[in-house]
Chains A and B, each alone.
Chain A
Amino acid sequence: MSNVARAHRGLAFFFLAVGVIAFFLAGLGAFGEGFDAHRGSGSLLLLLSHVLLILAAVGRREAVKQSAALFGLMIVQMLLAITGEEVSSVLGGLHPVNGLLILFVAHQTAQALPLPFVGGGAGGTRTRTRAAV
Chain B
Amino acid sequence: MSTVARAHRGLAFFFLAIGVIAFFLAGLGAFGEGFDAHRVSGSLLLLLSLVLLVLAAIGRKEAVKQSAALFALMIVQMLLAVAGALHLHHSAIDADAAAALPDGLVVVYCWGPGCNGAQRGGARLAAHGRQVKEMLGGFEYYEREGWPVEVAEEAAAAPGTVRA
Chain A contact residues, CB within 8 Å of chain B: 26, 29-36, 84-85, 89-90, 92-97, 99-100
Asked if B31 is at the interface (CB within 8 A of a chain A CB), the reply is: yes
Asked if B30 is at the interface (CB within 8 A of a chain A CB), the reply is: yes
Asked if B28 is at the interface (CB within 8 A of a chain A CB), the reply is: yes
Q: By the criterion CB–CB under 8 Å, are A89 and B20 in contact? A: no
Query: How long is the Cα–Cα vector from A29 to B85 in the complex, in angstroms?
Result: 13
**Interface residues of chain A: helix, strand, loop or mixed (majority):** helix
Q: By the criterion CB–CB under 8 Å, are B112 and A93 in contact? A: no
A-B contact pairs, 7 of them (CB 8 A): A32-B85, A32-B117, A33-B112, A34-B110, A92-B31, A96-B27, A96-B30
Q: Report the minimal beta-carbon distance from B107 to chain A, rounded to whole angstroms.
A: 15
Query: Per-residue 0/1 for B19-34: is the Cβ within 8 Å of any A Cβ (1 yes, 0 no)?
Result: 0100111111111110
Of A32, A35, A93, A100, which one neighbours B28 at CB under 8 angstroms? A93
Query: How long is the Cα–Cα vector from A35 to B27 in the complex, in angstroms?
Result: 12
Of A30, A36, A85, A94, which one neighbours B29 at CB under 8 angstroms? A30
For B24, the chain A residues whose CB sits under 8 A away are: 93-94, 96-97
B contacts with A, residue count (CB < 8 A): 21
Chain B contact residues, CB within 8 Å of chain A: 20, 23-33, 35, 85, 87, 110, 112-115, 117
Query: How long is the Cα–Cα vector from A92 to B25 in the complex, in angstroms?
Result: 9
Nearest residue in A to B23 (C-beta to C-beta)?
A: A96
Q: By the criterion CB–CB under 8 Å, are A34 and B31 in contact? A: no
For B28, the chain A residues whose CB sits under 8 A away are: 89-90, 92-93
Q: By the criterion CB–CB under 8 Å, are B20 and A100 in contact? A: yes
Q: Report the minimal beta-carbon distance from A32 to chain B, rounded to whole angstroms.
A: 6
For B20, the chain A residues whose CB sits under 8 A away are: 97, 100
Query: How long is the Cα–Cα vector from A34 to B114 in the complex, in angstroms?
Result: 8
Q: By the criterion CB–CB under 8 Å, are A93 and B85 in contact? A: no
